Amino acid sequence: MLGKTARGLFWMFRYLERSENTARLVDAGFRIALTRSAAASDEWSSIVTTAGVREAYLEKHSQFAAAPVIDFLLRDRSNSSSVMSVVDAARANARMVRTALTREVWEATNECWITLKDLLARQVAETDLPDVLAVIRRQSALVRGALHGTMLRNDIYDFARIGTFVERADNTARILDVKYYVLLPSVSHVGSSLDNVQWETILRSVSAQRAYRWISGGTASPMGIAELLILDRRMPRSLAFCTAQLRENLAFLADDYGAALPCHDLAEGIYRDLIDRSIESIFDSRLHDFLGEFIRRNNELGARIEHDYRFYG
């Protein structure tokens, strides 16, 4: 496979994953704004930070309010992480690697782009927002479905999956990092309505409300939420799940190519550090530091994969 093709697949699926994650973030913010208008501005601010576009946002807007934030995150092409920008980029990458994709995957990606371009051509009215967000998530899911259903499990598939999980791990870690303070035992007043709303937001932004209800049996605790999103390998957006998938797909590549590379050691290290941890030890060593370190190592892994598999040269 061409190094360029590996790069195209990696980024195509990173971008698709990002479109879905951004839609979830906006959904979570919108929910808070509806239910607790007093906290809305703070909430939009933290969502912009989580999306990693705070600086770019402040260059254009001075206040954090629903309309400008939603527009910036969904439609603004000057924001390279807006849903429209990343769907553009995903499709451009898909075109570049068209020969590596099945017709189904290409057509799902192309339809995703056609649909969203149309849907996001104008400012999204608040009444339409839930529908629009649902369509964004669904379009991304359709591409993923086509990928699972039609693609050969070879290196092409591995690079697509690796892109997905590098992005997803980063996203979940950022959500936790921006909100880590509401999970700390010291400031939480269990059962207070503020915390309940904040916890709910965290769960909602990774579509884990239902999963958490099943697991916790109805009692919400910050440590329980953190454990679900960091260490629970059954939860498809948890850090443990993502790193296990990364390790596995990288191992397939090493098998396929008959060569273990530095990125394999890195992935193994990240995986080991998570898998043997208890949630208590993570809280003891300061949640914020732990998450910062995780984000750094996950980025390093992405860069290492680019290098080891000759994405650029």
Partner 1 sequence: MNGNGEGPREPYCEYCRWFAGEDPARLRKKTQEAETFFRRTGITFNVYGQEEAAERLIPFDIVPHIISDREWARLARGIEQRVRAINAFLHDIYHRQEILLAGRIPVDLISNNEAWLPQMVGVSPPGGIYTHIVGVDIVRTGENEFFVLEDNARTPSGVSYMLENRETMLHMFPGLFSRIKVREVSDYPKKLRRSLAACAPAGAADPPVVAVLTPGIHNSAYFEHSFLADQMGVELVEGHDLSVVEGRIAMRTTQGFTPIDVLYRRIDDDYLDPLCFNPDSMLGVPGIMDAYRAGNITIANAPGAGISDDKAIYSYMPEIVEFYTGEKAILSNVPTWRCSDADALAYVLEHLGELVVKEVHGSGGYGMLVGPAASKKEIAAFAAKLKARPANYIAQPTLALSTVPILTRSGLAPRHVDLRPFVLASPSRIDITPGGLTRVALKAGSLVVNSSQGGGTKDTWVLEE
Residues in touch with partner 1 (CB under 8 A) = 1-6, 92, 95-96, 98-99, 103, 106-107, 110-111, 114, 155, 257, 259, 309-310, 313
Burial group, residue 268, by CB count within 10 angstroms (0-12, 13-18, 19+) = middle
Q: Which is nearer to partner 1, 67 or 259 (CB)?
A: 259
Query: Which residues does 25 contact at the CB level (< 8 Å), separation at least 6?
Result: 47, 50, 51, 73, 175, 205
Q: Which is nearer to partner 1, 113 or 271 (CB)?
A: 113
User: Closest distance between partner 1 and the C-beta of residue 37, in Å?
Assistant: 38
Angle, vertex CA 263, rays to CA 258 and CA 264, nearest 5: 55
User: Closest distance between partner 1 and the C-beta of residue 208, in Å?
Assistant: 34
User: Closest distance between partner 1 and the C-beta of residue 111, in Å?
Assistant: 6
User: Closest distance between partner 1 and the C-beta of residue 245, in Å?
Assistant: 19
- The CA distance from 264 to 268, in Å, is 6
Give the dihedral of Cα atoms 114, 118, 123, 126; nearest 10 deg: -90
Residue 14: closest CA among 146, 171, 137: 171
Q: Which is nearer to partner 1, 109 or 205 (CB)?
A: 109
Q: Which is nearer to partner 1, 39 or 261 (CB)?
A: 261
Q: Which is nearer to partner 1, 10 or 30 (CB)?
A: 10
Residue 32: closest CA among 77, 70, 4, 89: 70
Contact 94, 101 (CB under 8 A): yes
User: Closest distance between partner 1 and the C-beta of residue 9, in Å?
Assistant: 10
